[in-house]
Structure formats: structure tokens, C-alpha cells
Amino acid sequence: MKINHLLEKIYNFPRVLRVLSLIFIDILIIYFSVLLTFNFDLDKSILIKWIFFSISIFSTLTNFLSGFYLNITRFIGSSTYYKFAKINFIVIFLIYFFGEFLNFKLPSIFYFLKLYIISTSLIFFIRIFIRDLVLKYSKNKLLNSSIGIYGAGAAGSQLLASLKLSGELNIIAFFDDNPKLWGTKINDVKIYPPSQIYKFKDNLKQILLAIPSIKISRKRKIIKMLQNLELPILDMPSIDEITKGETKIDALRPIPIEELLGREVIEAQTDLMNLAIKNKIILITGAGGSIGSELCRQVIQHMPKKIIILDISEENLYKINEQLLDLNLDKISIVSILGSSSNFKLVSKTIKDNNIDIIFHAAAYKHVPIVELNPIEGIKNNIFSTVAVCEASVSNNIEKLILISTDKSVRPTNIMGASKRVAELVVQAYAEKESSKLNKNSAYKETLFSMVRFGNVLGSSGSVVLKFKEQIKSGGPITLTDSNIIRYFMTIKEAAQLVIQSSVLSEGGDIFLLDMGEPVKIFDLAKQMINLSGLSIKNKNNINGDIEIISTGLRPGEKLYEELLIDAEAEKTDHPLIFRAKENFIKMDEIIPKLKFLKKNIDERNKDQTLKILNELVKEWENQNKIN
């Protein structure tokens, strides 16, 4: 402890004093080296003094000018030592040749070679000793921050070396799948099989992943195993990022939750993407939203003839327009339209002026709590924007319209889900009417209507993942409504690609369902995100943890789990992740009068009557806002 205290005092010295101390140590080493070279022969004291003073002056001056004393001792690497060895060699032998030139009575060059080896070795040794002493002191300060590294390959070895130099973490063990490595050591840190990691649980404060080249499926299994320890996990950058110079090997970071949810990434089928988009004029409503904007980014990459983006939010429209301009390498025409999709005249004129082929209708209010508090505006936007877009599509004989729907429309328990179910019924009614026209007249140019249902999208506006990230960032707690809630997740990119590909499979009136992968328990998701952020869970078993998880109770209209089907069976399509269903619907002549009555009550701001009509249209939805 006294040594640690002394080291701490020295470490807090001004920089100038620390440099002078090192110079003084080096001078002592040179003096001792000269004495040792001449076997402490005091008869040669004049020669010893001349050599000592000459080397001390020239070596110190040269090393100072070369920046040797500017190096931080604990970070000194081999390149610095090589540089010093070269300078020391030049100084000693220049003094030898200078003495020869002045006809001094010098011993043979062997003594100077011996002096070079002794002085260089001693300075190296003392520097390494000081470095290790400092690192040991740092290590003692970090005994409560013991770390394990998973992966004892080249990346793990480099990570260890980098972290040891920084002195910021105390690495106590390696874990690796390779049995050939078990029991061996890297830089004095032993390698253990993963099965023994549980023995270290009480000593470890964090796990670092050093497996940058591993397949995502294997990485998921490893992380799942590590998460059972409820220890914070950090990841190192990918090899690609390191080799490109984008980051350093020790730039540890949280593991993106997107890497662990759902399934392995399945690349979009290029032929379907091109069939859907190439040389087509595409309109995307709600283009500034999370799904709409990703649809825009995907569409522009597959050579449309023109892309028209429509959004009611000026800010969102501006942002997606700027993004598309950056992506627009092929100089595709981009038209930005500011306005509401509920405005039939605006939508119809936009379609007519731009000769639209395909519409992706993504405009909707989708935040359950907000729509629950503002039912009239939510119903008006979600239903009547769909009516306006469908009517404008038929009036202008467009090729296809695809409605972006949600799993919350299936047996809805909230107003948002019920309003989206009515939007689906509208699309189904228009599809049936178009089919009837085609049956009566084979020359009729039919507009194909379809809709796509899927669940939660990672990173979308209002996503629970984004909410949890913000709560973790602010220090917690994480709030979830019920510990038993289950949800399906998909990346925005994959969802948008599957929506586009489904348009090619449309036969009219289709309900397309996307394979959402495995269900995820939201409570487990919260625990994962805390651990993957390099933090620990605070609970009764770990009162000193970082982030607490609190259940607040189900919100009005919230379900424990979501569904994708109402009363139909899903059928396979030509795409392995897209399924088709045909469900019961309300015919056009029956739904139109109810929609007109609904619109009248919305315009009159009659909330009770509006919700009553919504209940009549979606009988499985129970109005939780009704007044008793």
C-alpha cells in the first residue's frame, strides 16, 4: 500500500518534474554502466569520468530533442525502444571515434560495444519495470473492475495488449471455444473453456467480445449464453471497420440489439425488387415516417422512372428529400409534395400530373396511446386517407396500390388498430369492386389493391427499442407495461423490402403477412438491452446495479401478444417470408353508407357516435372509451 501511495504521489508530480526524474535515473544508469564496463577499475577514473560526462551530455540532449522523454512511460512500445537503441548506439560510437580522432588513450572498441549493450539493456529494463509498476498500480485500483475477454484469437490478443497499455481494465481471463487453447496463456492471462465462465461470475464485472469475424448466428448463441450471467457485455469493432481505419480495436461499444432480434438477414430477391420498381413511377404517402422513408430509400436504389414523396410534415418531408438527393446517383426525378393524404383533390392531381404507376400508402397515425387520447383525428387520418388514396387510384387507373397495415388491426383492442382494420376493409372493398368491373368487361384496366400486415419494426418511430435506449441513456429506469408482453420484431430495411416484393405477388384483394421470426418477451428484451449497453440490472439480487426495470401495467387498448390473421389460413407465396391470406370483408355498397355517416360525425366532432360506428365496422373491437 505504501508503494501505491508513493506511486500516486509521483504520478501527480508536474510533467517537468517527472521528465527530470527520468533524466536523473538515466544518468545514474549511464554512470553505473560505465563503471561496470571497466570492472570498477578506479585506476581509470579520468577515462571513466570523460566517457561518463560525454555520454551523459550527448545522450540526454539527443534523447530529449528526439522526444524520448515526452513519451508516457506506461504507453511506451517497442518502436520507442528501437529508436532509443539506435540513438544510444550512435552517441556511444561517435564518442569513441571522436576520442580516437583526438588521440585519447582509449581502450579497444570492445569496451564501447560492452558499454552500449549494458547501458541500453539497463535503460530498457528500468523503463519496463517502471511501466509495469504503474500498470500494476492501475490494476490494483481496478480490482473491482475485473474483465473477461471472450475470444482468444488474434483480435483478443490485440485487444488485451491495447487494454493493458491503457491500464483502464483488469483482464483476468480469456474464454474460447477452441479446446487446443484451453490452459494456455496470452500475456500471462489464462484461457478457459466457455463452460467455466460461470466460475468467474462473482469476480467478473464485464465481458468483452473479441470475435469480430464470427457468423451472426454463432454470435447470438454466445451472447445468449453470456446473458444468463446477467453481466454487462461490450463488443469490439468489426475487422472491416478496423482495417479501413474507421475505428480502433479497443473502441468497445454496446452490441446493437438489432443484431440479436429476429432471424438471420435474408437478402431481398433482386428480380422481385426490379419487377416492382424498375422504370415505374412510384408514389409513397407518409414518405417522411419511419416505414415510408425506408420505402423511399429502397425504391430509389432500384431505378424507378420517378419517385413522388408525399407527407403532411414539412420537417419529415425535407429530411427524406435530402436523404434521397444523397442516394440519387442515377439522377432519378424526385418530386416532393407537402400535404395530407386525406385530401382527395391533392392526391388525385398528384397521380394525374405524374402518371403514377404504383402507390405505397404508408401514411397513418400509429402510436397507440396518442390515438387513444385523440380518437377523432386518428380515425379520420387512418381511414379517410385510405379512402382518398383508393378513390384517386381508381379514378386515374393506376396499376397497383399497397396499404401498409399492422398486426394491431387483427382483433384490435385499441382505436389505432380498429382504424387500421377499417382501412383494410376499405382496400378490400375497392379490390372486390375492381374485380367485378373486370369480370363484366375483360378490357377494363383493373387497379390491383393489396395490403401488407407486419408487427413491430426495430428503430421505427415509437418503437419500444428506441424508448428503452433513451431510458438507458438517461440512467433508467426502464418502464414496460407488463413483464409478460410478447412482440415480434423486424428491421425497417427488411420490412420495406418485403413490402416492395409483395407488390409483385398481388392478385387483387390480397392480405400479405410477413414472417416476423421468433417472438420476443419484452421483459427479456429490456434485460438484453441493459446488458448489451455494458450496464447491469438493478434488482433485489443486485441493489448496486445500474438500471432498474419497472412494470407500469397494461395501457388502455394494449395486448399481451399480437396476431397476424383474423379468420383465414395463410398460404405460401413464391417468397419464403411472404404469405397470402383471403379474409372476410364488407362489400362496397355496404361500407360506403357507414363511412359517410362516420365522416359526418367526425366533422361534427361527435366522439361517442364516431366510436360507436367504428365498433359497428369492427365488431371484434370493444370501445374502451365509452362512457358508463
For the chain, what percent of residues have pLDDT higher than 70?
78
The phi, psi pair for 474, rounded to 5°, reads: -90, 5
Asked, for residue 623, whether it belongs to a domain, the answer is: no
Higher per-residue pLDDT: 384 or 537: 384
DSSP 113-144: HHHHHHHHHHHHHHHHHHHHHHHHHHHHHTGG
Q: How many whole angstroms separate alpha carbon 404 and alpha carbon 298? A: 15
Select from 363, 149, 130, 362 the least CA-distant residue to 236.
149
CB 597 within 8 A of CB 610: no
323 shares a domain with 433: yes
Q: State pLDDT tens for residues 454-471.
A: 777 766 655 677 788 888
Asked, for residue 429, whether it belongs to a domain, the answer is: yes
State the amino acid at position 224 in one-letter form: K
CA dist list (Å): 403 to 273, 296, 448, 503, 579: 17, 15, 11, 10, 15
Number of domains in the chain: 3
Q: State pLDDT tens for residues 238-256.
A: 555 544 545 454 557 677 6
238 shares a domain with 166: yes
Residue written as grid cell 438517461: 474
Kindly state the greatest CA–CA separation across the chain: 124
CB 555 within 8 A of CB 417: no
pLDDT reading at 81 higher than 50: yes
Count Cβ atoms below 10 Å from residue 77 Cβ, excluding itself. Answer: 10
Last residue of a domain, one of 140, 170, 190: 140
Asked, for residue 258, whether it belongs to a domain, the answer is: no
Asked, for residue 249, whether it belongs to a domain, the answer is: yes
The mean per-residue pLDDT over the stretch 148-171 comes to 76
308 shares a domain with 188: no
134 shares a domain with 151: no
The domain in which residue 460 lies consists of 270-517+528-617
CB 87 within 8 A of CB 62: yes
All three cell numbers of 138, joined, read: 492501475
Residue written as grid cell 380498429: 418
DSSP 44-95: GHHHHHHHHHHHHHHHHHHHHHTTGGGS-GGG--HHHHHHHHHHHHHHHHHH
511 shares a domain with 465: yes
Q: What is the end-to-end Cα distance of the chain in Å, rounded?
A: 73
Helix (H, G, I), strand (E, B) or coil at 325: helix
234 shares a domain with 361: no
- Give the single-character DSSP code of 197: G
Return the H-helix or E-strand segment holding 157.
Answer: helix 154-166
Q: State pLDDT tens for residues 307-366.
A: 999 999 999 999 999 999 998 888 899 999 999 999 999 999 999 999 999 999 999 998
The interaxial angle of helices 607-617 and 375-395, nearest 10 deg, is 50
CB 37 within 8 A of CB 55: no
Q: How many whole angstroms separate alpha carbon 600 and alpha carbon 382? A: 16
Mean pLDDT of the chain: 80
CA dist list (Å): 138 to 12, 145, 146, 169: 14, 11, 12, 8
Return the H-helix or E-strand segment holding 337.
Answer: strand 333-338
169 shares a domain with 22: no
Q: How many whole angstroms separate alpha carbon 368 and alpha carbon 381? A: 14
- Output the CA torsion 123→124→126→131 (10° steps): 140
300 shares a domain with 436: yes
Distance, C-alpha 209 to centroid of its chain: 15
Q: How many whole angstroms separate alpha carbon 123 and alpha carbon 102? A: 29
CB 614 within 8 A of CB 415: yes
Q: How many whole angstroms separate alpha carbon 481 and alpha carbon 484? A: 9
Q: Which residues pair with 451 in a beta bridge?
A: 403, 511
553 shares a domain with 434: yes
Residue written as grid cell 385530401: 343
Asked, for residue 299, whether it belongs to a domain, the answer is: yes
558 shares a domain with 482: yes
pLDDT reading at 478 higher than 70: yes
148 shares a domain with 133: no
- Give the single-character DSSP code of 258: G
CA dist list (Å): 601 to 418, 607, 609: 17, 8, 7
pLDDT reading at 419 higher than 50: yes
State the amino acid at position 319 in one-letter form: K
How much is the pLDDT for 77? Answer: 55
Last residue of a domain, one of 204, 220, 253: 253
pLDDT reading at 429 higher than 90: yes
Asked, for residue 261, whether it belongs to a domain, the answer is: no
Residue 78: pLDDT band by 50, 70, 90 thresholds?
low
Please say whether the dihedral angle defined by the alpha carbons of residues 377, 380, 386 and 389, taken in this order, is positive or negative. negative
Last residue of a domain, one of 78, 106, 140: 140
The mean per-residue pLDDT over the stretch 443-452 comes to 90
How much is the pLDDT for 206? Answer: 81
Asked, for residue 622, whether it belongs to a domain, the answer is: no
**Which range, 33-47, 155-169, 199-213, has the best average confidence (pLDDT)?**
199-213
> Could you tell me which residues come within 8 angstroms of residue 506 by beta carbon, excluding any fewer than 6 positions away?
400, 402, 448, 449, 450, 512
Residues serving a catalytic function are 408
Indicate the pairing of strand 571-572 with strand 578-581: antiparallel
Select from 391, 375, 437 the least CA-distant residue to 614.
375
Residue 546: pLDDT band by 50, 70, 90 thresholds?
confident
- Burial of 15 per CB tally in 10 Å (0-12, 13-18, 19+): exposed
Q: How many whole angstroms separate alpha carbon 122 and alpha carbon 333? A: 72
CA dist list (Å): 374 to 12, 285, 369, 447: 61, 22, 9, 33
407 shares a domain with 323: yes
Please say whether the dihedral angle defined by the alpha carbons of residues 392, 395, 401 and 407, taken in this order, is positive or negative. positive
Asked, for residue 625, whether it belongs to a domain, the answer is: no
All three cell numbers of 352, joined, read: 394525374
Q: For residue 221, what is the domain's CATH number?
A: 3.40.50.720
